[in-house]
Structure 1
Amino acid sequence: MASQAACIFCKIIKGDIPSFKLYESEKILAFLDINPLSRGHALVIPKFHGEKLVDIPDDQLQEILPVVKKLVVASGAENYNVLQNNGRIAHQEVDHVHFHMIPKPSTEEGLGIGWPQQKTDMEKLKALFAEIKAKMQHKINTRIAVTSKKSQRIRGRYYHQMPSP
């Protein structure tokens, strides 16, 4: 993993490396890819440094897809891919989360991918479904419990500070 100081995207964010900025806010940056797969190939990155999607706080991700959508509209792309890779074997080349918006104007230009589908055993798929769903529900319940406790503390402080009627 590249340190934040060595990260090429962090250097672009800081302005140490020039880029063709298309959009910038407090939390994200969008710019043209200098090694495009097609005309209009752009990258959208959170300013928060993290190698993989799970390393980025949710609030740092909220603007990304709306900006990708604006890039699609601005580029005029009718066909396009939105791509986000995590890890070397998944073809991630820069250790900073980034989303590609790659116009696909023809079969020769843009992203070329294969989709090697695998046969599945429905019983194994059913077991996997139950496992993932339970883990997701646990995460959601944990987050709700933490958020609920936080809001109770905040409400408690607020009500204690209110003057009596």
Structure 2
Amino acid sequence: MSSIFTKILSGEIPSHKVAENDKFLAFLDISPLAKGHVLVIPKEEINYIFDIPDELLGELMVFAKGVAKKMEKVVQCERIGVTVIGLEVPHAHVHLIPINSVSDMNFAKPKLSIEADELAEIAAKIRNA
């Protein structure tokens, strides 16, 4: 079930990493709904969020929580919204999105286009928070 996330994990495709450990990777979405929109993925290739073993799913959410706490320190927003859609890439992932209202998480909205240097700057700020 190789996907674009597999290529990111292998380094074949570059990403703006914000956090990583032996089981998970968090990186900036390159087509974000908001500045600082992060994707959190397990390193193990698992297609569907509810196919993740319970213990690993719990660890994924704790890892995502740590990333969200860092995001709150550097991205101006009311909250960090969390969503799982699971249709766009066949690799389980969690969206962490800086939000000020529910409509900020509307995936039908046009995505932002952010230059690579600004993405790198945002990623560094979150990593270093």
TM-score normalised to structure 1 length = 0.56
* Letter of the 2:105 counterpart: L
SS at match of 1:18: coil
Is 1:80 aligned to 2:76, yes or no?
no
Deviation at 1:47, TM superposition (A): 0.8
Distance in 1 (alpha carbons) for counterparts of 2:5 and 2:63: 18
Task: Find out whether 1:98 has 2:93 as its counterpart.
Answer: yes
- In 2, the alpha carbon distance for the partners of 1:13 and 1:58 equals 22
Partner of residue 28 from structure 1, selected from 24, 27, 52: 24
Larger RCO, structure (CA 8 Å, separation 6 or more): 2
Deviations, residues 41-96 of structure 1 (Å, cap 9, x unaligned): 0000001111112322234323222222222222224323201124xxxxx20010
Mapped to 1, the partners of 2:25 and 2:84 lie a distance apart of 15
Q: Percent identity?
A: 42
The structure with more helix, counted as a fraction of residues: 1
- Kept after mapping to 2: 8 A contact 1:30/1:45: yes
1:46 matched to 2:42? The reply is: yes
Query: Could you give the per-residue CA deviations for residues 94-120 of structure 1, whole angstroms, max 9, x where no partner exists?
Result: 010000001113576x3128xxxxxxx
Let me know the Cα RMSD of the aligned residues.
2.0
Could you tell me which amino acid in structure 2 is paired with residue 99 of structure 1?
V
Matches within 5 A, 1:89-128: 92-105=87-100, 110-112=104-106
Contiguous gaps of at least 5 residues in structure 2: 108-129
Which amino acid letter does the alignment assign opposite residue 88 of structure 2?
Answer: E
Amino acid corresponding to residue 37 of structure 1 in structure 2: L
So what's the TM-score if we normalise by structure 2? 0.70
Q: For 2:100, give the aligned amino acid.
A: P
Secondary structure in 2 matching 1:61 = helix
Q: Does 1:16 align with 2:26?
A: no
